[in-house]
Amino acid sequence: MPGSMVDQAISNLLLELMQPMTLQVALAVQQEVEARVTETDALRRKHVERAQYEAELARRRYMKVDPDNRLVADSLEAEWNNKLRTWAESQEQYEQQTQKQRLLIDSQTNEQLLSLAADFPRVWT
């Protein structure tokens, strides 16, 4: 029996069996990517919340200071302003990263995953 006939039969059988499996793998990869995106989003959100908490804490300290003690008031006001800046920067960075990640995952990842499943016969051949 010629080897080319056996190769062709095995190739056809493998392609027949792999089509559903590649789709399942592609969907599993997509779910894993989405889970990791959700996880990193939660970590970024916690960072923003922490910056907000620290800014609020600095505001409370500033509001409690004796106005006659100008040196301490100036120092607490500067600290409050720094915390507000940090909070604004972390909020902006969170929004940029979230938008970038959404665009990256929505278009590029879905296309790659679907092409992976569709291109398996071509890759095998």
Q: What is the pLDDT of residues 65-106, one digit of tens each?
A: 998 899 999 999 999 999 999 999 999 999 999 888 877 666
The pLDDT, as a whole number, for residue 124 is 62
Can you give the three-state secondary structure of the chain, one letter per residue? CCHHHHHHHHHHHHHHHHHHHHHHHHHHHHHHHHHHHHHHHHHHHHHHHHHHHHHHHHHHHHHHCCCCCHHHHHHHHHHHHHHHHHHHHHHHHHHHHHHHHHHHHHHHHHHHHHHHHHCHHHHHC
Q: What is the pLDDT of residues 4-47, one digit of tens each?
A: 777 777 777 777 766 666 677 777 877 888 888 889 999 999 99
